[in-house]
Amino acid sequence: MKYAISGALCAILSVTGADAATATRGGFSQLSDGTKVEAVTLTNGAGISAKIMSLGATLQSLMVPDKAGHKDDVVLGYDTAQEYLSHPDFFGASVGRYANRIAKGKFSLDGKAYTLATNDGPNSLHGGIKGFDKRMWKIDSVTSGADAKVVMSYVSADGEEGFPGELKVTATYSLNEQNELKLEYKATTSKPTVLNLTNHSYFNLSGNDARDVMGNMVTLHAAKFTPVDATLIPTGERRAVAGSPFDFRTPHRVGDRIRDARDQQIRYGRGYDHNYVVDGAAGSLRPAAVINDPVSGRTMEMSVSAPGIQFYTGNFLDGTFFGKGQHSYRQGDSICLEPGVFPDSPNHADFPTARLNPGQAYVNTMVYRFSAK
């Protein structure tokens, strides 16, 4: 399948020869209880490398060359595995069972009420107290070749964090010589359940933690978004972005309208923390977003199969998160793009369904393509 990707790759990111991408497995660090955490590093001929650790099937680092060929890590995170548990904020994590929010931690399925932990004010967020980001995933396979690939899996017990059904999940990361990092989640269930898996990477394409993302140019292929209430739960409306600070159909600097307090939605989200309705047919891989950092020249183009994508600008990072190299992460230091069904879909009959039945296969695919010029 061809993806609609704009722009030519810079010479420094072009692939020369027929070098195969490589996947290398090794130790990463260990948790305070002695549990060993492994990592797999995927590397291509252009010098892009992605390190995925088994705790949370987490994208721990992503090295990408800039327009001068200098490689930097463009995702936020920590240097050790234990920090991801001690100071959790979902950096690079595989999030589930239900990414994003469920109102009041409650939903009904086939007439039965389910109650979840409320870990975000009155609501349930990102799978509860111990979601998939805090679980150890099994490394099933590691392969080099045209696509360097790692497959990780996790089995979530029936009733875990309040969700019904035993869930078998895989996360497959692959990197090719076209500078595409692909991530695909698949799942099956033993009982009817609700499911929304995503990746929660925080991107700063400058690769420089001293520079925020307010000068980044963002495009979102979405004519509508879902407004929220004061607790960030969707009201049920699909609102046109036209004429509002939420219109990124053409490239805009993140910082141009993020403090426009005349818009109540900006006040509720402390900036951008909203689900966009991605143009085109859900289930098909299609363009969703573009981020460009004018200083480094790096561009990331994202295609998704999901119906929506959460655009979040790290509004709740408050300077108390000390990440890689003991750098303090602050509000506006990153951009998250989280593809999935809409927040609180189990409680909105007219939203894309989050229901998964036995015999069905859940798939959520996202592709990140990098260039620099």
Q: Are 289 and 306 contacting, i.e. CB atoms less than 8 angstroms apart?
A: no
Residue 161 designated active-site: no
CB atoms within 10 A of CB 134: 17
Catalytic residue among 161, 180, 301, 338: 338
Catalytic residue among 126, 200, 221, 274: 200
Please count the helices (runs of H) and the strands (runs of E) in the chain.
2, 30
In terms of Cα–Cα distance, which of 201, 194, 211 is closest to 173? 201
Residue 126 designated active-site: no
CB atoms within 10 A of CB 261: 7
CA-only gyration radius of the chain, Å: 19
Q: Are 321 and 328 contacting, i.e. CB atoms less than 8 angstroms apart?
A: yes
Q: Which residue has the tokens 């995927």?
A: 42
Residue type present at position 315: N
Strand 308-312 to strand 318-322: parallel, antiparallel, or no bridges (unpaired)? unpaired
In the chain, what are the helix, strand and coil shares in percent, each to the nearest 5?
A: 10, 45, 45
CB atoms within 10 A of CB 285: 18
DSSP state of 21: B
Q: Which residues are catalytic?
A: 200, 338
